[in-house]
Chains A and B, each alone.
Chain A
Amino acid sequence: AQSVAQPEDQVNVAEGNPLTVKCTYSVSGNPYLFWYVQYPNRGLQFLLKYITGDNLVKGSYGFEAEFNKSQTSFHLKKPSALVSDSALYFCAVREGGGSQGNLIFGKGTKLSVKP
């Protein structure tokens, strides 16, 4: 069965510092991995996804994520955090291989960036 874990409920970062939001996954086949961000009282916004190819994926708002197959991880990163990055971040996984499986979401990580 597919699963995804976000081990940190909250991440605190000072503005200007690099940030990392962690995600690990479990699937039987090839993983398709997604990151979403949710601002207060809003829906989820798509940030980036990994399907195949280069392990470093670049997305919206300066975010990037690194796919690591051996560690089954897909951590979200940004070189320099902004206060406006404060939000709830969700990692999601779908198993590839033509199964049309549904997205499985992690429980979310709250990112707080302080000035």
Chain B
Amino acid sequence: DAGITQSPRHKVTETGTPVTLRCHQTENHRYMYWYRQDPGHGLRLIHYSYGVKDTDKGEVSDGYSVSRSKTEDFLLTLESATSSQTSVYFCAISAGTETDTQYFGPGTRLTVL
């Protein structure tokens, strides 16, 4: 999985609790992304980062925040989890030019009860 790890790999939590997912890369790539995958929707971009402390919103950013304090780590936080955020979350990285390939981590399955 191209030097990308995600933690935790599985998490069950309750509505209203905060949740943080971590993505760690060893490739020193500039760009990092968070996607969610839901049946019938494919992958949808939540947030992305184009450098340390540089982040921007994606298509489905409501209810999510991100932080990137180091090149290798990109955190996704659900401040107050809701059942609609039950999903599989994928991190991806790329070197950053428009022709570059994005490489994906193994995913985190999050269930919000």
> A residues engaging B (CB < 8 A)?
32, 34, 36, 41-46, 49, 51, 90, 94, 96-103, 105-108
Inter-subunit contact A32/B41 (CB<8 Å): no
Q: A103-B45, A105-B42 are in contact. List 12 more A-B contacts (CB 8 A).
A: A34-B101, A42-B106, A42-B107, A43-B4, A44-B90, A44-B92, A100-B50, A100-B96, A101-B98, A105-B44, A106-B42, A107-B41
A51→B100 CA distance, assembly (Å): 9
Residues A99 and B98 in contact in the complex (CB < 8 Å), given A44-B104, A46-B103: yes
A90→B42 CA distance, assembly (Å): 8
Residues A102 and B45 in contact in the complex (CB < 8 Å), given A42-B106, A49-B101, A94-B98: yes
Indicate if B62 sits at the interface (CB-CB under 8 A): no
Q: How far is the CB of A99 from chain B (nearest CB, A)?
A: 7
Contacts of A43 in B (CB 8 A): 1, 4, 90, 104-107
Contacts of A100 in B (CB 8 A): 50, 96, 98
Indicate if B48 sits at the interface (CB-CB under 8 A): yes
Contacts of B4 in A (CB 8 A): 43
Closest 6 CB pairs of A and B: A43-B104, A107-B42, A44-B104, A105-B43, A105-B42, A43-B106
Q: How far is the CB of B54 from chain A (nearest CB, A)?
A: 12
A105→B33 CA distance, assembly (Å): 14
Residues A46 and B101 in contact in the complex (CB < 8 Å), given A102-B48, A102-B58: yes
* Residue on B nearest A107 in the bound complex, by CB: B42
Inter-subunit contact A32/B58 (CB<8 Å): no
Contact partner, A96, options B43, B98, B101, B107, Cβ 8 Å: B98
Indicate if B15 sits at the interface (CB-CB under 8 A): no
* Residue on B nearest A90 in the bound complex, by CB: B42
A12→B67 CA distance, assembly (Å): 42
